[in-house]
C-alpha cells in the first residue's frame, strides 16, 4: 500500500483520541495538543486525502497527515513507520486515473509568501483566542452565531490591518483561504473583514499576492455526493457548523465570483449540485458555468420584506431545518 493510501486508511481521530481529549467542532475536532499541551490549539479536519492535524504552536505552520502523527508520537522516521504499517515506498509504473476529476490546478503564491502568510494567520488565531484587543471580533462572531469550534477549525483570527483609504490600522477578522494538492493544505489567500464601520474606509481587504480560488475548497470531500455553492464566507461557515451529511459546502466569495474552470471540475465530482445565490442573474450565470445537468437553484427566503440568508437563519435557529428541507 502506498503512503497516500495508508493516510486514507488510518483513523487519525482514533489515533489522537488515545493521547488527548478532543471536542467535536463542525466536521472536525479540537482540543489540547498531545505533543505540546495547551487548551484548544490542536485541530483535526477531514480533507480529500484523509484526516489532517494542525497545532498552532508546534505544527510548523502547516497541516500534517496520520503518518506524520505516528512519526512524531513514536519518534520514528518515515521509512520505519511505513514499514510497520505494511506499506511500501516504491510507486507502480502506472496508477489508475481517479474516478472523479480533481479541481484544475492554478499557480499558487510561492513558498516565501506561504511562510509569511502562515505567520500572519497563526498570529491572528492566537490574538482572536486570547487578546483583549480582539474582543470586538469575538463579539462579532458570537453575534453571527458562529461557535468557537468553527473559529478553530477554519483558523479564523483577529488582526490590526492597515486601511489605505483611512491611512491607519483597523481591527479586522482574518479569513484564510486554502487550496489543496491532496496531501497538504496550502494557503491561496488571506482576506480581512473590517469589524467596525468607518466612513470612507474599506469593508474588505486582502493580503497582497492572494489568489482567491474557492472558500472551503480544502473541505470538499471525495466521499460527499452533493455540492452546495453559496455566496459569502460567513454563510459557508454557518452551513458548515450545521454539519449537513454528505454535503461539501464551498463559497464563491462575498462578491459571487469564483474560478469557472475550478467550479466546473469540482461540480463533476458530485451527483447533485445546488447553487445558493440571491441575485437571479448571478445564480443563472454560475449554474451555466458549472457544466453539469440541472443544478438546483436556491434563494434565501424573505420574511416581512427582509432576506434571511444562511447566517440569518443560523442566528434564528432555523438553518438546520431549512437545510434538511432543501437537501
Q: For 19-74, how does the pLDDT look when each residue is reduced to its tens digit (9 = 90+)?
A: 888 888 777 888 889 888 888 888 888 876 678 888 888 887 778 888 888 888 88
Nearest to 157, CA basis, from 110, 185, 180, 190:
190
Region 19-84: CATH code: 3.90.580.10
The CATH number of domain 111-206, selected from 3.40.1190.20, 3.90.980.10, 3.40.50.300, 3.30.70.890? 3.90.980.10
Q: What is the structure's pLDDT at 4?
A: 53
Q: What is the structure's pLDDT at 134?
A: 97
CB 169, CB 162: distance < 8 Å: yes
Q: Is the pTM of this model over 0.85?
A: no
Distant-in-sequence, close-in-space partners of 257: CB < 8 Å, separation ≥ 6: 212
Q: Mind listing the pLDDT tens digit for each residue in 91-103? A: 433 333 344 444 4
Domains 19-84 and 217-326 share a fold: no
Residue range 217-326 in CATH 3.40.1360.10: yes
Phi, psi of 320 (to 5 degrees): -60, -45
Q: What is the structure's pLDDT at 107?
A: 73
- Of 16-25, 130-139, 266-275, 302-311, the range with the highest mean pLDDT is 130-139
CB 23, CB 29: distance < 8 Å: yes
Q: What is the structure's pLDDT at 56?
A: 85
Q: How far is CA 45 from CA 30, 64, 142, 244, 262, in A?
A: 9, 10, 22, 15, 22
Average pLDDT, the chain: 83
Q: Mind listing the pLDDT tens digit for each residue in 175-219? A: 999 886 544 578 889 999 999 999 999 999 999 999 888 898 888
In this predicted structure, the answer to whether residue 122 has a pLDDT above a threshold of 50 is: yes
Q: Enumerate the domain spans of the chain.
A: 19-84, 111-206, 217-326
**Comparison of pLDDT for 4 and 268, the residue scoring more:** 268
Q: What is the structure's pLDDT at 94?
A: 35
Torsion of CA 196, 197, 198, 199, to 10 degrees: -170
d(CA 258, CA 247): 19
Amino acid at each position: 500500500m502506498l503512503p497516500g493510501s495508508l493516510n486514507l486508511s488510518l483513523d487519525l481521530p482514533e489515533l489522537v483520541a488515545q493521547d488527548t481529549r478532543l471536542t467535536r467542532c463542525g466536521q472536525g475536532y479540537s482540543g489540547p495538543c498531545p505533543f505540546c499541551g495547551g487548551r484548544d490549539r490542536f485541530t483535526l479536519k477531514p480533507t480529500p486525502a484523509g484526516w489532517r492535524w494542525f497545532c498552532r504552536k508546534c505544527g510548523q505552520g502547516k497541516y500534517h497527515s496520520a503518518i506524520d502523527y505516528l512519526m512524531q508520537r513514536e519518534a520514528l522516521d518515515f521509512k520505519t513507520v511505513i514499514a510497520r504499517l505494511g506499506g511500501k515506498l516504491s510507486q507502480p509504473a502506472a496508477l489508475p486515473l481517479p474516478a472523479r476529476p480533481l479541481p484544475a490546478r492554478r499557480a499558487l503564491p510561492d513558498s516565501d509568501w506561504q511562510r509569511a502568510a502562515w505567520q500572519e494567520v497563526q498570529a491572528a488565531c492566537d490574538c482572536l483566542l486570547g487578546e483583549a484587543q480582539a474582543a470586538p471580533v469575538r463579539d462579532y462572531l458570537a453575534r453571527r452565531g458562529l461557535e468557537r469550534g468553527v473559529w478553530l477549525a477554519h483558523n479564523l483570527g483577529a488582526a490590526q490591518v492597515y486601511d489605505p483609504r483611512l491611512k491607519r490600522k483597523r481591527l479586522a477578522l482574518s479569513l484564510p483561504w486554502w487550496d489543496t494538492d491532496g496531501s497538504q493544505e496550502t494557503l491561496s489567500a488571506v482576506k480581512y473583514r473590517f469589524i467596525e464601520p468607518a466612513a470612507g474606509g474599506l469593508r474588505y481587504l486582502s493580503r497582497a499576492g492572494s489568489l482567491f480560488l474557492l472558500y472551503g475548497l480544502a473541505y470538499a470531500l471525495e466521499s460527499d455526493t452533493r455540492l452546495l455553492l453559496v455566496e459569502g464566507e460567513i454563510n459557508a461557515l454557518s452551513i458548515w457548523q450545521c454539519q449537513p451529511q454528505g454535503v461539501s459546502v464551498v463559497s464563491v466569495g462575498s462578491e459571487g465570483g469564483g474560478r469557472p474552470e475550478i467550479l466546473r471540475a469540482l461540480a463533476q465530482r458530485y451527483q447533485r449540485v445546488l447553487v445558493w445565490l440571491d441575485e437571479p442573474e448571478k445564480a443563472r450565470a454560475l449554474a451555466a458555468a458549472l457544466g453539469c445537468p440541472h443544478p438546483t437553484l436556491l434563494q434565501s427566503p424573505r420574511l416581512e420584506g427582509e432576506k434571511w440568508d444562511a447566517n440569518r437563519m443560523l442566528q434564528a435557529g432555523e438553518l438546520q431545518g431549512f437545510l434538511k428541507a432543501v437537501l
